[in-house]
Structure 1
Amino acid sequence: MTLKVAVIGCGSIARHRHLVEYDAHPAVEIAAVCDIVESRAKEMAEKYNAKAYTSYEELLANEKIDAVSVCLPNALHAPVTIAALNAGCHVLCEKPMATSSEEAEQMIEVAKKNNKKLMIAHNQRFVPSHVKARQLIENGEVGKIYSFRTAFGHGGPESWSADGKESWFFKKDLAFIGAMGDLGVHKVDLLRYLLGEEFVEVASFVETSAKENSDVDDNAVFILKTENGIIGTLAASWAYTAGEDNSTIIYGEKAILRLEDDPNYSLVVQYKNGEVVRYELGKIQSNEEGGQKNSHVIEHFVHSIETDTVPLISGEEGKKSLEVIIAAIESNESKKITKVSQV
């Protein structure tokens, strides 16, 4: 059976990830694309032999679509996802899934009501070094985990966003949050996946210091604590001007795991007994030259539809990661340690 999909939003993430990966999938037909910039929609429609729309409402009303990718500014994730679910489509939504807990909950409820899949595009879970690290942790190779530090930073979205310096990423009414939503929420989701635990408390410092004409954060640092007392730091930044950092280090009883921290080895395991194991598992997906091209997100989304299984990053999972970011915003505003709202 061929899955008829539509991609709503034809900016950079759609062009470099969603459309490319749908096009490469043997079970998928890209039936329609949509963007408020007509030239963008037409360009992608021509490239993928699809129908072009400038209104997602028209697209959903006119086309018989099985699944939709929502690749829009963050503030539009919830309303467009809900509209697509109500139109009978499965939805893959970009991150962060929503701008509030209430919106996220509504998306989850509408997916349930319509018996449709809702997946959030947290691609870090599919990176080979991250998958391997989770296996090592689950197998007891690392022992009890004490701490971690993780970072996700680059020079900012102006270098790759379709609108450059005029991008929606820098506008609070469209973006809701900046580097925290673009990069930080990815690392929250990854840590939850690796550690197999939920975060219960967060303290944060959030700044807008690197970008002019922007009213969203471009540097954020969190201190996080899990339910079993694992503590660590997370940094999200649009100010890493000389190159990208997407590293994570896990400090355990028996070993230290260094993920995407070495230029040649995607995972380095330093055991307490002095042994060091280096894994070459392929480069992490990135916007930089030589980055992994297949995120496996589309593959997993399509598989979950075909097999009628719950996607690895369901709406519920997306909401749990979003809740940590919301708690971090509250912590920065109150200057107090904030409890993470649990589902």
Structure 2
Amino acid sequence: MKRRAAMIGLGHQAVEDHLPGLAGSGKADLVAVCDSDPDVLRAQQQAHRVPGFTDVRQMLDEVKPDFAIVAVPHHVGRQVVQECAAQGVHMLKEKPFATSPEEARGLAEICKLGQIELMVTLQRRFNPIHTSTIGLLDQIGTPFLIDGQYTFHTDDPGAGWRGDVRQAGGGCIIDMGYHLIDLLLWYFGLPDRIIAEFSAAALPDADYDAEDTAVVQLGYGSDLYGSLLLSRWMAPKTERLHVVGTRGSVLLTKGAVQRLNLDGTVAEELSRPHAPASAATAQIDMGGLWEIPSGTVEDSESILEAVYRETAEETGLTISEITGYIGHFDYQNSRGGTTRQFNFSATVEKTEPVILTEHDAHQWALPTELPEVSDAVRNLIAS
């Protein structure tokens, strides 16, 4: 059964990303749209042939969606989260999660009390270009230098609510920099040292205080360091992340990733110019799904040795005995090929504590009471 989705906020991100993502989804249907602008609302209501609302609470009362995609100005986010949580509606929310640490803690508590899940839309985590980068980083030796840049030019970098720190929570760092910083957290974890310099000086006579340009320097205890350049004023439009290692480097740009030799020649390249569209659908269909801990078999180990190692690495649990083989399924990997996952049943020495390194949460579940998992996992366990 498909989930019923409502779209709250009909700006550029909704029209260019989330609504097309819903249209391509095999697991969700758009059932309502909501926006405070009647003209904008009318256009999307007619285009998608669904009910339209200017009031979030009224839409939730009348339509009762399973989840909502929230793409509203930063300062409106808390109100929408409160409304959805009060009615038990899960959310896929545009970044940022919150405009301050205090608001973040408050929103987390609201979601906990409402027993709902809130996922932040970090589309790059569902983009095959960005997921394949992980494998390429393993081939460049020891990484020691990071050079990131996300810049573009807009004539008024402080226009509207985005120029007001009180409403936006910040400027280019919390807005466009959010994606680049998340990639670093995904690939390398939290840095040990951070220094940031930023300014709102591109238009000296303009009245805005949210930074239009920033330089962030970061360092890890493993002798890995680097910098990020972020700007709403600097042309040309550039989005890239260059990681240099002892045996080569990886250059990630929008729509392509290259592994480079030490002399800069291309060793291998993956290009997916239309990947952003598929990523929008993937985060709807796959976001929030639970999965079985898994990993890759190393060259020097057997598949059973990999089961012991991956379980320990991903969960902190120690397997006492592998009790059986329960089957396999195939799925499309980040490079567009097919990967086969072999699955085993096992007992562990202790069920707690669970220490996660690659997932956001865990739960023990009975085969008859599974949370939301892929069809492949559900069929495997049911058999």
Q: TM-score range by the shorter chain?
A: 0.7 to 0.9
Write out aligned runs for 1:61-210 (5 A): 61-137=61-137, 140-156=138-154, 166-195=159-188, 197-210=189-202
TM-score (norm 2): 0.69
d(CA) in 2 for partners of 1:187 and 1:76?
Answer: 24
1:324 is matched with: none
Q: Report the alpha carbon displacement of residue 309 of structure 1 after superposing the two structures with TM.
A: 5.8
Give secondary structure in 2 for the equivalent of 1:246. strand
Task: Give the stretch that moved more between structures: 200-209 or 168-177.
Answer: 168-177
C-alpha contact (below 8 Å) 1:151/1:235 kept by paired residues: yes
Q: Structure 1 residues 187 and 239 mapped into 2: Cα distance closer, same or farther (>3 Å)? A: same
Residue of structure 1 equivalent to 2:375: none
Identity %, equivalent residues: 22
Q: Deviations over 1:242-293 (max 9, x none)?
A: x3110100011222111118xxx8222223488631313223xxxxxxx654
Contact 1:9–1:34, Cα closer than 8 Å, also in 2: yes
State the distance in 2 between where 1:231 and 1:274 align: 20
**Could you report, residue by residue, the CA deviation over 1:91-148 in whole angstroms, capped at 9, with x for unpaired residues?**
11111110111222233333344443321111222333322221223xx312222120
More strand by share: 2
CA distance in 1, matches of 2:123, 2:240: 15
Distance in structure 2 (CA, Å) of the matches to 1:39 and 1:45? 10
Q: Runs of 5+ in structure 1 lacking a partner? A: 160-164, 284-290, 316-343
> Equivalent residue for 1:294?
277
2:269 to 260, 270, 279: 279
More helix by share: 1
**Residue in 1 that maps onto 2:368:** none
Contact 2:163/2:208 (CA < 8 Å) preserved in 1? yes
Distance in 2 (CA, whole Å) between partners of 1:136 and 1:147 is: 15
Q: Which digits, 9 at most, give the CA deviation of each residue in 1:34-72, with x for residues without a partner? A: 111111112111111121111112222222111111101
What is the DSSP-based 3-state SS (H/G/I as helix, E as strand, rest coil) of the residue aligned with 1:248?
Answer: strand
Mapped contact 2:127–2:276 kept (Cα < 8 A)? no
> Residues 130, 293 of structure 1: CA spacing in aligned structure 2 closer, same or farther, 3 A cutoff?
closer
Partner of 1:249: 242
Match of 2:210 among 216, 228, 239: 216
**3-state SS of paired residue (2:133):** helix
1:41/1:215 CA distance change after superposition, 3 Å: same
In the alignment, structure 1 residue 238 sits paired with structure 2 residue 232: yes
One-letter amino acid matched to 2:150: F
Deviates more, 1:17-26 or 1:165-174: 165-174
1: CA distance, partners of 2:278 / 2:172: 20
Tell me the C-alpha RMSD between the 2 structures.
Answer: 2.8
Which one-letter code corresponds to 1:201 in the other structure?
R
Secondary structure (helix, strand or coil) at the match of 2:186 reads helix
Q: Mark the runs of 5 or more structure 2 residues left unpaired by the alignment.
A: 293-357, 362-383
Hey, what's the Cα distance between the residues in 1 that align with 2:214 and 2:291?
35
Which amino acid in 2 is paired with 1:146? F
Q: TM-score, normalised by structure 1?
A: 0.77
Cα 1:95/1:141, change in 2 over 3 Å: same
Deviation of the 1:12 alpha carbon: 0.6
Most deviating of 111-120 and 69-78: 111-120
What SS does the corresponding residue of 1:136 show, helix, strand or coil? helix
The number of residues matched between the two structures is 294
Which position in structure 2 is the counterpart of 1:326?
A: none
Could you say which structure has the greater relative contact order, defined with CA pairs below 8 angstroms and 6 or more residues apart? 1
Aligned residue for 1:177, secondary structure, equals coil
Give the Cα–Cα distance (whole angstroms) in 1 for the partners of residues 359 and 75 of structure 2. Answer: 20
Describe the superposition over 1:193-227 as per-residue Cα deviations: whole angstroms up to 9, x where unpaired: 122x2123211111112243433111011001235
